[in-house]
């Protein structure tokens, strides 16, 4: 198969949502259709407590939430589908934000009863910023939910995007009868407690007399609502969707595997194939013959038994080949990758080749950091992988003096994953961990103990903001370091960071040193 054909059959997307909207359940049902798994992990049972396929870390299984992005790939109807299941919890939103830089489109899952929730709005802001095409899946229609038209209006107002339903629900909650697929003119009947894959009943139009047999008196309500819908919403425009201006909407119940196949089939028809990507030097087209890609995620201990560390690389152009020499542009070194892997959550297999859109795992012993670029020799650097200034800070201390080496190694590797940031105070040498949310500290503490055999404790610190500081005037920067010595730190790669303990202190420093640049993300030019 040619490079062009391989690229055009790939669909790489992320599934995002507010916690508990059903994102991981939807992921599993998509994997069922692809034959990637044969039983869903999220089966609700008093006797059997299975865990989601995509939640492969021990702490995820214990807490019942996703705390790291999972990568899963499968073949379906001649397409190669790459799904990235992201953490829903806001404390891990930075991992999700970075993941969104590695996908070509997004499916946003919304709880039909709760509507648009705060985390969903933040995720949509990132998609809008990058003009990433979005499809909305309104989940849990088998439970009582908002009026459909009101829900669509809320989605448009809260997410600031036009919508166009491509399926339409018939009632909700106990009276939920199914959905009418507008895109394919077919009826899908809902049967509670049945999770089999069913084909929709095809109708030429909504006035087909056969609809009465299946829907009874509800058919008139359906017809009225569809007429109103056609009057209110413009025709679906694929170009507007691909431009990130229009969100197609589907309805269903992921738990009961209902409406999922319609979503998948339509998604594969309309979702974008790998797109051109921006580097600092130029725009890279996926159809270029020369390979390039970037590291968007690092995971330490993906297999705790072997202490393995994996760099996740999104392929952007050309063909990736096993054992071929590639240039690490930040280090200006050449690497041959002997064991590149493809993923099904924690399961992985060695591959010989991969194409734009694919996610490849590269065994790493510390050569890679998030944002690194690999090429066939060209000196380019992919953009758009910032680390944001943390919102919470703690001193980290060793709770077991006999395990100092294990603690140092664990902190070093976990910080490389990008879920938290490490700062070293230049005045007293103490290590400071910066996170987006409290839960991250708990995860770090848990993983240090269970993956590295090291115990730590966190101590409070009064801290408002970490700011990366830079100036072309070396003398001025040195003066700043001396004047603010008690508040100066270095980040993991040795850059100067000003640790302001209040908004007032930060404002005063910026006024006093106007010619020093204060950065609140780490992706400024060094």
Q: What are phi and psi of 20, to 5 degrees?
A: 70, 15
455, pLDDT greater than 80: yes
What average pLDDT score do residues 231-242 get? 92
Q: What angle do CA 236, 15, 38 make, to 5 degrees?
A: 110
> Look-up: residue for tokens 């071929």?
324
pLDDT tens string 11-53? 999 998 888 888 888 988 888 877 655 444 432 332 223 334 4
Cβ neighbors of 327 (< 8 A, separation 6 or more) are 333, 334, 335, 374, 375, 376, 377, 378, 379
The alpha carbon dihedral of 394, 400, 402, 406 has a sign of negative
Coil, helix or strand for 404? helix
| pLDDT for the residue 289 | 95
202 or 497, which is more confident?
497
Cα 220 from Cα 168, distance rounded (Å): 14
Rg (CA), the chain: 25
Q: What is the pLDDT of residue 452?
A: 87
Which domains are seen in the chain, by residue range? 3-270 (3.40.50.300), 277-375 (3.40.50.300), 392-519 (3.30.70.3280)
pLDDT of residue 168: 93
DSSP state of 180: E
DSSP conformation letters of 453-505? ---EEEEE----EEEEEE-S-HHHHHHHHHHTGGGEEE-TTS-EEEEESSHHH
Rounded CA-CA distance 255/265 in Å is 18
Q: Identify the pLDDT of residue 90.
A: 52
What average pLDDT does the chain have?
Answer: 84
Among 240-244, 284-288, 516-520, whose mean pLDDT is lowest? 516-520
Task: Please indicate whether residue 125 or residue 279 has the higher confidence score (pLDDT).
Answer: 279
Chain segment 208-222, per-residue pLDDT in tens: 777 777 788 888 888
Q: What does the pLDDT read at residue 204?
A: 64
pLDDT 10s digits, 83-131: 887 764 454 556 677 778 889 999 999 999 999 988 788 888 888 888 9
User: Which residue has tokens 């448009």?
Assistant: 156
User: CA 314: distance to chain centroid?
Assistant: 13
- Give residue-wise pLDDT tens across range 295-331: 988 877 655 555 578 888 999 999 999 999 999 999 9
The residues that bridge with 424 in the sheet, in sequence order, are: 431, 490
- Angstrom distance (rounded) from CA 427 to CA 508: 20
Tell me the mean pLDDT in the region 47-71.
44
pLDDT one-digit tens code per residue, 346-392: 466 888 999 999 999 898 888 888 889 999 999 999 976 666 678 88
Q: Which pair of structure tokens corresponds to residue 380?
A: 């380019």
Question: Over pLDDT 70: what percentage of the chain?
Answer: 84
**Cβ within 8 Å of residue 380, ≥6 positions away:** 279, 280, 281, 282, 284, 292, 329, 373
pLDDT score of 97: 75
Torsional sign, CA 447, 452, 454, 460: negative
pLDDT computed for residue 305 by the predictor: 57
Which residues lie closer than 8 Å to 307 by C-beta, 6 or more apart? 301
Q: How confident is the model at residue 420 (pLDDT cuts 50, 70, 90)?
A: confident
Q: How confident is the model at residue 271 (pLDDT cuts 50, 70, 90)?
A: very high
Pair of tokens at residue 170? 């018939």
| pLDDT above 80: residue 507 | yes
Comparing 217 with 279, which gets the higher pLDDT? 279
Q: What percent of the chain has pLDDT over 90?
A: 50
Rounded to an integer, what distance in angstroms lies between the CA atom of residue 43 and that of residue 31? 14
**Residue for token digits 């890609």?**
293
Other C-beta atoms lying within 10 Å of the C-beta of residue 289? 9
Q: Is the pLDDT of residue 491 over 80?
A: yes
pLDDT for the residue numbered 54: 42
Output DSSP code: residue 115.
B
Rounded to whole angstroms, what are the CA distances from 249 to 173, 210, 241?
A: 19, 26, 11
- Helix (H, G, I), strand (E, B), or coil: what is residue 127? helix
DSSP code per residue over 349-371: EE-SEE-TT-EEEEE-SS---TT
Per-residue model confidence (pLDDT) at position 222 = 87
**Rounded mean pLDDT, 262-274:** 93
Helix (H) / strand (E) containing 187: strand 186-189
Alpha-carbon gap, residue 18 to 23, rounded angstroms: 8
Does residue 71 surpass a pLDDT of 90?
A: no
| The pLDDT of residue 347 | 61
């Amino acid at each position: 198969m040619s490079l062009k054909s391989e690229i055009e059959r790939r669909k790489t997307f992320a599934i995002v949502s507010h916690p508990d909207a059903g994102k991981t359940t939807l992921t599993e049902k998509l994997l069922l259709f692809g034959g990637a798994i044969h039983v869903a992990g999220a089966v609700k049972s008093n006797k059997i407590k299975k865990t989601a396929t995509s939640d492969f870390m021990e702490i995820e299984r214990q807490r019942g939430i996703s705390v790291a992005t999972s990568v899963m790939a499968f073949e379906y109807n001649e397409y190669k589908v790459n799904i990235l299941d992201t953490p829903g919890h806001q404390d891990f939103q930075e991992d999700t934000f970075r993941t969104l830089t590695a996908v070509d489109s997004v499916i946003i899952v919304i709880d039909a009863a709760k509507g648009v929730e705060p985390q969903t709005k933040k995720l949509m802001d990132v998609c809008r910023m990058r003009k990433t095409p979005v499809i909305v899946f309104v989940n849990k229609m088998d439970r009582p939910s908002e009026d459909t038209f009101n829900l669509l209006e809320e989605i448009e107002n809260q997410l600031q995007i036009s919508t166009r339903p491509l399926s339409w629900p018939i009632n909700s909650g106990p009276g939920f009868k199914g959905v009418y697929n507008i895109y394919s003119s077919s009826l899908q009947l809902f049967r509670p407690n049945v999770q089999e894959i069913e084909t929709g009943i095809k109708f030429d139009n909504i006035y087909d007399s056969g609809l009465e047999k299946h829907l009874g008196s509800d058919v008139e309500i359906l017809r009225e609502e569809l007429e109103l819908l056609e009057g209110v919403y413009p025709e679906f425009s694929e170009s507007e969707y691909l431009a990130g201006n229009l969100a197609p909407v589907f309805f269903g119940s992921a738990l009961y595997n209902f409406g999922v196949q319609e979503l998948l089939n339509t998604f594969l028809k309309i979702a974008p194939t790998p797109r051109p990507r921006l580097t600092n030097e130029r725009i890279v087209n996926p159809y270029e013959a020369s390979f390039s890609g970037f590291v968007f995620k690092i995971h330490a201990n993906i297999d705790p038994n072997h202490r393995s560390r994996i760099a996740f690389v999104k392929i952007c152009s050309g063909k990736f080949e096993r054992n071929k020499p590639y240039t690490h542009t930040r280090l200006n070194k050449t690497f041959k990758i002997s064991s590149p892997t493809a993923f099904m959550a924690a399961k992985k297999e060695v591959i010989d080749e991969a194409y734009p859109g694919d996610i490849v795992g590269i065994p790493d012993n510390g050569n890679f950091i998030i944002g690194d670029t690999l090429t066939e020799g060209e000196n380019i650097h992919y953009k758009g992988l910032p680390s944001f200034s943390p919102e919470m800070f703690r001193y980290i201390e060793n709770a077991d003096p006999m395990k100092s080496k294990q603690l140092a190694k664990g902190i070093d590797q976990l910080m490389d994953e990008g879920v938290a940031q490490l700062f070293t105070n230049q005045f007293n040498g103490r290590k400071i961990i910066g996170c987006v949310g409290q839960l991250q500290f708990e995860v770090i503490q848990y993983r240090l103990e269970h993956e590295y055999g090291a115990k730590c404790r966190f101590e409070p610190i009064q801290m408002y903001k970490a700011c990366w500081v830079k100036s072309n005037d070396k003398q001025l920067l040195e003066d700043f370091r001396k004047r603010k010595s008690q508040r100066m730190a270095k980040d993991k790669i040795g850059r100067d960071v000003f640790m302001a303990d209040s908004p007032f202190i930060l404002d005063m420093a910026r006024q006093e040193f106007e010619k020093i640049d204060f950065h609140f993300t780490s992706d400024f030019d060094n």
